[in-house]
A and B are shown apart, each in its own frame.
Chain A
Amino acid sequence: MSAVFSRQALGALLIAVVAASGGYGVARHFQPVAPVIPEGVPRVPPANGALEGRPAPEVTLNDLDGKPRKLSEWRGRWLLVNFWATWCGPCMEEIPLLIRAQAEQGARGLQVLGVAMDDPEAVRKAVQEMGFNYPTLAGDEAVLTAMESLGNSLGAIPYTVLIGPDGLIRHLEMGGIDAAKLAMLLDRFLPAEG
């Protein structure tokens, strides 16, 4: 009996797989054909890891009052520079985590700094609504240039850079950071509290 059942089950599985493949094929057929990225198209590395361990370039950007601020103003702190924008869903998702990190890890020397590639008015509204507890700079082309100098030539965000108290770049991160990844990063570099 069990051999008969096994044959039937195998048959059933085969039919199911064939049907599923057919269904998927039909579905793809009625979707537009995806463009083929030609061979040899350069895939630009999003974050230039070669910058890690090198001095952070000086970057000057305006704060939300229009005053120019330099990254070196925060020298002596562990500076976590987070590039974001209000039009970027993944960026907005990680901001509560950064607010919590600033509140809980400030005593360990952490200083989060937001850099928004956005209209200052939209940024000001988000900062107020979300209760930012860390400073935010904003701009458009100037932010793209700043990001490029910090290893991100694609302009894609979120993008986060950890700069040590000595001004050396310690870590570059393309894409969102979740709680576990952030904890691991801070535990790797920041001194224990106390």
Chain B
Amino acid sequence: MAAIPGFRLSLALSGVLLLSAPALAAGGLLQPKVRPDALLPVDQAFQFLGARRDGGNLKLEWNVAPGYYLYRHMLKVSVDNPAKLSLAAAQLPKGESKQDPEFGSVEIYRDQLQASIPLAAGAPLPRTLRVRYQGCADIGVCYPPQTKLVAVP
């Protein structure tokens, strides 16, 4: 009989940890910490991989180093050339929710980010995009907004 409470205890503990581990992983609590004396230069913290055509879409991609994140609300894409050409809004995946003491509830992206911009059939293609993004490190420093001019292949 004594084995049953022990088994129940193990089941309960397993259940709690099984449920909490994905939340911890997703919430960033288990994200690697960046040391203040080993911060990365901005282009390594947020590695912008440029633009590529993918069917009827333009894809923009970033690699985000562990311990760093990009803000969804700071991501802006516009056409640089030709100046008068407009573009559909970039479609972004759902990010991780972050309660920011200053900015309230915001969405952030870790690891990898892919933005997709639908292209209208038959419409002229942009030659150059202006891409603006900004992010921070978990240790509590932020990098200035980055603006990249990127050629559309």
A interface residues with partner B (beta carbon < 8 Å)? 1, 4-5, 8-9, 11-13, 15-24, 26-28, 31-35, 37, 41-46, 85, 87-93, 117, 144, 154-159, 174-176
Contacts and interface: CB of A to CB of B under 8 A. Distances in A.
A116 B36 CA distance: 21
A175 B14 contact: no
Contact of A90 (B18, B24, B25, B141): B141
Given A8-B3, A11-B10, A174-B39, A31 B136 contact: no
A155 B143 contact: yes
Contact of A19 (B14, B140, B145): B14
A16 B15 CA distance: 8
Interface in B24-47: 24-26, 30, 36-42, 44, 47
Contact of A37 (B16, B37, B65): B65
A90 B66 contact: no
Interface stretch (B81-89, B100-108, B116-124): B100-108
Contacts, number: 150
A35 B6 contact: no
Given A26-B22, A31-B111, A87-B74, A11 B13 contact: no
Contacts of B47: 35
Contact of B141 (A26, A43, A158): A158
B10 A12 contact: yes
A156 B142 contact: yes
